[in-house]
Amino acid sequence: MTEKVKSGSRNVAIVGPYLSGKTTLLESLLFVTGAITRKGNVKDGNTVGDSAAESRERKMSVEVSAASTEYNDVRFTFIDCPGSIEFAQETYNALMGVDAAIVVCEPITDRVLTLAPLFKFLDDWEIPHIVFVNKMDRANIHVLDTLHALKAVSSRPLVAHQYPIMRGEELTGFIDLVSEQAYQYHPGAPADPIPFPEHLKEEEHIARAEMLEALANFDDHLLEELLEDIEPPQEEILKDLKLELGADLVVPVFFGVAELDYGVRPLLEAIWREAPEPETTAERRGIQVNHNTPLAQVLKTFYTPQGGKLSLVRLWSGKLTDGAVLNGVRAGGIYRLCGQQQNSINEVGAGEIVALSRMEGIITGDILTSESSPKPQLPKAPALEPVYALAITPEKRNDEVKLSSAITKLMEEDPSLAWEQHGDTHEVILWGQGEIHLQVALDRLRRKYNLPMNTHLPQVPYKETIRKATTSVHGRYKHQSGGHGQFGDVFLEIKPLARGEGFSFKETIVGGVVPKQYIPGVEMGVREFLAHGPLGFPVVDVGVTLTNGSYHNVDSSEQAFKQAARLAMQTGLPQCEPALLEPILRIQVSTPNEFTSRVLQILSGRRGQILGYEGIHDWQGWDSVIAYLPQAEMQNFIVELRSQTLGVGSFHWEFDHLQEVPEKLTERILISSGNGNGNGSK
């Protein structure tokens, strides 16, 4: 298909807290621009944004979805991002490739904190953004209070771009603060100009003055005009809005009702007029736009329900034509997306977001160039650490072999998933960002790869150690079976080592009472035994010395000495006061400081040891709490943390050390692991 040349393009992410109306806004944007002729809605599961089965089923977005449309001769590609914090990686990856973002939120003042991590990301990366206060058909707080609350969570100044006209809790129109023209909304039609509503004069003046003052902070000429009471020309205000939005210096605010298309056209008009062009974005990212050399970045990987692979890329530079070869891989096709609908095109120019098919071996975040050119570095959203785990086993035993290739594909789609086969517990553990995140991954395994899974809570990789030494434990292995017998005989000393030292093996054999060639067998026997100590777990921090023994000329062998060593360990280790050890994590929790005391309580309630807390230096109002937390207490920690912090608390973790399990817990752990005989660590 050959297309008429557009005068430009804009790529805009639609982001914001969970259920704020992003997918509904996308539907409305596509409708008012004519990309779709009938609007779907989230409840009926027929929106463009939530067309993936996993999103439809849950009535929430669980992955990004791209849709291209046209407005005033400019190609717009919107990326509808999931709001749930568990899918934040999707949002962050997409944001790296857009020219601007629309932050959709609700007019609920005590929930604005949920915007804080997003605002921080946008400001850290200087991504121009506009706020769209949605659901203004149910706004039971005053507009100025909404603005005030929003300002408190943004490090950049928020400026109202319009002043809403309300009837009770319902939005009926708006005053454009640049032109001071008032408009009345109508269902299913563009807004009409109306006379200025005099009763709003005072409030409108306050909002307009604030907007102009915020803009003047970055424009001396405008500042002079304001000081001299000169009315600035509209073109000057619009020019400043464009420049300052483009440099992420100010954040314009709009109001609307996405479900009724109210406020959607003014929003679109503002993005069209004020959002930076793709070349400006490339320049700000330090990318040399070279018209000959393609440079693209993968923002998302999809495996479609039919099994095909699609890589959503931002083309920063150059152009792509059908059959282009990037990083040595030939693209199967170039597509503009509208949710799951793929429209094939022959060619695409710099500044657009399109999908490439069959880019085998290419994963999200990859930088793509034509074969010959050296690859420049482009910033990449940091990968989120997994904070929630489930152990999984295929429902059908034979499926085990298929599992790793399916999970690898899932991880190509979603880099915030991880998996491991645990060395101690032998479980396959799926790691992710929360319960829903993992449920979606399991749904995909079942639906796309026909791999239904059973899940259970992962076992804690406990270890055990000893508290006391024992001298000279004897192990003798003697076996006579027909011809050639077996004989091994050893004396071992077992002692505890300092925490973290692991295992050591020594020998003090004199006079060849245990011949040299059999000593490795003794060590092997000891090591094998230590894989499952008397409490049922791997034993660590133990030193064993082979002190004495005897052998038989004919019947001795390495194998026989191995058995003798095992027998000695079996007798000796229970005499050494075995003790259970649990992994302790060092965690760093980030939380709004109004919730810090709750976080401390949660940690103490989970046997955590608080090491300290302080304000985060580049994040006003947020604290960082450092603590030791037993791994056994981590399972639902993220769930509780989020429930106590409006969903925004997060944490980093790393293994720190092993520590003895408190006596009163040991017995419970041993019984539930099926290893204990109820006699605790004694």
Binding footprint of ligand GTP on the chain (CB under 6 A): 18-24, 41-43, 60-61, 82-84, 134-135, 137-138, 257-259
**Cβ pair 625, 603 in contact under 8 A:** yes
Give the integer Cα–Cα distance in Å for 231 and 248: 25
Range 273-276, long-range pairs (CB < 8 A, 24+ positions)? 273/238, 273/242, 274/238, 274/241, 274/242, 274/245, 274/246, 275/10, 275/12, 275/99, 275/100, 275/128, 275/130, 275/245, 275/246, 276/99, 276/100, 276/128, 276/242, 276/245, 276/246
Chain residue whose CB lies nearest ligand GTP = 83
Cβ of residue 61: shortest distance to Mg ion, in angstroms?
3
**Of 61 and 433, which CB lies nearer to Mg ion in the complex structure?**
61
SS3 assignment for 559-608: HHHHHHHHHHHHHHHHHHCEEEEEEEEEEEEEEEHHHHHHHHHHHHHCCC
List the single partner that 138 binds among ligand GTP, Mg ion, none, CB under 5 to 8 Å by kind.
Answer: ligand GTP
The length of the chain, given as a count of residues: 682
Q: How far is the CB of 299 from ligand GTP (least distance, A)?
A: 17
100 CB-contact burial (10 Å; exposed 0-12 / middle 13-18 / buried 19+): buried
Residue closer to ligand GTP, measured from CB, 120 or 135 = 135
Burial 153-189 (b: 16+ CB within 10 A, else e): bbebbbbbbbbbbbeeebbbbbbbbbeeebbebeeee
Instruction: Choose the one of ligand GTP, Mg ion, none that binds residue 258, judging by a C-beta under 5 to 8 angstroms depending on kind.
Output: ligand GTP
Instruction: Give me the phi and psi of 219, to 5 degrees please.
Output: -145, 105
From the list 10, 22, 309, 562, which residue makes contact with Mg ion (rule: CB under 5 A)?
22
Nearest distance from C-beta of residue 282 to ligand GTP, angstroms? 28
Residue in the block written with tokens 């490090």: 155
Q: How far is the CB of 193 from ligand GTP (least distance, A)?
A: 23
Specify the residue, 138 or 291, whose C-beta has the smaller distance to ligand GTP. 138
Q: Can residue 20 be called a binding residue for Mg ion (CB under 5 A)?
A: no
Of 137 and 528, which has the nearer Cβ to ligand GTP? 137
Q: How far is the CB of 45 from ligand GTP (least distance, A)?
A: 10
Which residues from 612-641 bind Mg ion, rule CB under 5 A? none
Q: Which is nearer to Mg ion, 50 or 99 (CB)?
A: 50
Which entry of Mg ion, ligand GTP, none binds 41, CB below 5 to 8 A by partner kind? ligand GTP
Q: State both tokens at 631.
A: 């791994």
Partner whose binding site includes residue 259, from Mg ion, ligand GTP, none (CB under 5 to 8 Å by kind): ligand GTP
Q: CB-wise, 43 or 516, nearer to Mg ion?
A: 43
| Between 30 and 249, CB nearer to Mg ion | 30
Minimum CB distance to Mg ion, residue 535 (Å): 49
> Minimum distance from CB of 440 to ligand GTP (Å)?
12
CA distance 304 to 94: 18
From the CB of 341, what's the least distance to Mg ion, in Å? 17
Within 40-79, the residues that bind Mg ion by CB under 5 A are 61
| Alpha-carbon gap, residue 133 to 191, rounded angstroms | 18
| Contact residues for 26 (Cβ-Cβ < 8 A; gap 6+) | 14, 47, 48, 49, 65, 67, 78, 80
Q: How far is the CB of 82 from ligand GTP (least distance, A)?
A: 5
Q: Toward Mg ion, which CB reaches closer, 22 or 75?
A: 22
Our CB check for Mg ion shows the closer of 299 and 329 to be: 299
Q: From Mg ion, ligand GTP, none, which one binds at residue 342 (CB under 5 to 8 Å depending on kind)?
A: none
Q: How many chain residues bind Mg ion (CB under 5 A)?
A: 3
Closest CA to 10 of 282, 288, 199: 282
Of these, 23, 51, 89, 591, which contacts Mg ion (CB under 5 A)?
23
Of residues 80 through 109, those in contact with Mg ion by CB under 5 A are: none
With H, G, I as helix, E, B as strand and everything else as coil, classify residue 88: helix
Amino acid at 347: E
Instruction: Provide the binding-site residues for Mg ion, judged by CB under 5 A.
Output: 22-23, 61
